[in-house]
Amino acid sequence: MQGLRGGIPGHEILRGIDLEVLSGEVHAVMGPNGSGKSTLAHVLMGRPGYEASAGSVTLDGEELLGLPTWRRAQAGLFLAWQYPVEVPGVDPAEALAEALVAGGREAGDVPARLSAEASRIGFEERLLTRPLNVDLSGGEKKRNETVQLSVLQPRFAVLDEIDSGLDIDALRAVARRVEEATVDSDLGVLAITHYPRLLKELRPDVVHVLVDGRIVATGGPALAEELERSGYGAYGAPGASEGPWEVGALPEGGPLGP
């Protein structure tokens, strides 16, 4: 993406994002509450109510801005939601089969693939028979998102706080599966998180710090370790903690604001 600006109507949140993720790479975006991390995910995916006001986002040379959300998905973009929604009446296997066919791919035996992927990350197979995300815990929804990612095999995945709601064993299983996808299918990953605990399991190639809608620092995994020690205060984050965080702490409840 180049010069990406956007947010919600009447309020610019992203103020010029330049970021390139190659196939097979894992990039982490970290930042305090209100820095624009989830807005970045929504703008990339084309969520209604969010808009890009300037810049360019391409996936394998195809411009995504201006395309409806379903076309972005067909182009190979996948978003694992921070708060996955429940969709009553929608069978997961049928939904994934339709998504594969709509993208011009063979659906194959989706139920068998779902079962195999669920087994790989410790997601109970009985939960696959429920309507999409209905009556699942927060952690179960995140595992379910990972199963869907593995079956759909997109080109690029945005993981919006995939770590929230997962215990350490579940986080490790999810991270290993995502890492395998980067090797097996050259999946590019943009992992959005508050806390370094995700990056102890999902090892990033590059770490970016997002503050006030701008990338203010970029580095290797050592940058995440620095943030764990010192917080975001050194990067001008309003109200950011100047001290170290408790390892494994969870974000405060509620959606991220702009």
Check residue 237 and give its pLDDT: 65
Q: What is the pLDDT of residue 77?
A: 97
Closest CA to 188 of 84, 83, 78: 78
Range of the domain at 77: 2-235
| 61 found inside a domain | yes
pLDDT of res. 233: 85
Residue 257 placed within a domain: no
In a domain, 243, yes or no: no
Domain count, the chain: 1
Closest CA to 184 of 153, 162, 159, 160: 153
What pLDDT score does 230 carry?
87
| Per-residue pLDDT of the chain in tens (258 residues, 90 and over written 9) | 999 999 999 999 999 999 999 999 999 999 988 899 999 999 999 999 999 999 999 999 999 999 999 999 999 999 999 889 999 999 999 999 999 999 889 888 999 999 999 999 999 999 999 999 999 999 999 999 999 999 999 999 999 999 988 999 999 999 999 999 999 999 999 999 987 889 999 999 999 999 999 999 999 999 999 998 888 888 876 654 433 333 333 233 333 233
What is the C-alpha to C-alpha distance for residues 165 and 159, in angstroms, rounded to an integer?
A: 14
In a domain? residue 250:
no
CATH assignment at residue 171 = 3.40.50.300
Residues 70-98 as b or e (16 or more Cβ within 10 Å = b):
eebbbbbbbbbbbebeeeeeebbbeebbe
pTM: 0.88
DSSP label at residue 194: S
> Please, what is the angle between helix 138-152 and helix 110-121, to 10°?
130
Has residue 178 been placed in a domain? yes
Asked, for residue 108, whether it belongs to a domain, the answer is: yes
Q: Is 240 inside a domain boundary?
A: no
Question: What tokens were used for 93?
Answer: 């296997």
Identify whether 246 is part of a domain. Answer: no
Task: Specify the pLDDT at position 238.
Answer: 61
C-alpha angle 20-22-27 in degrees, rounded to nearest 5: 65
| pLDDT recorded at residue 256 | 29
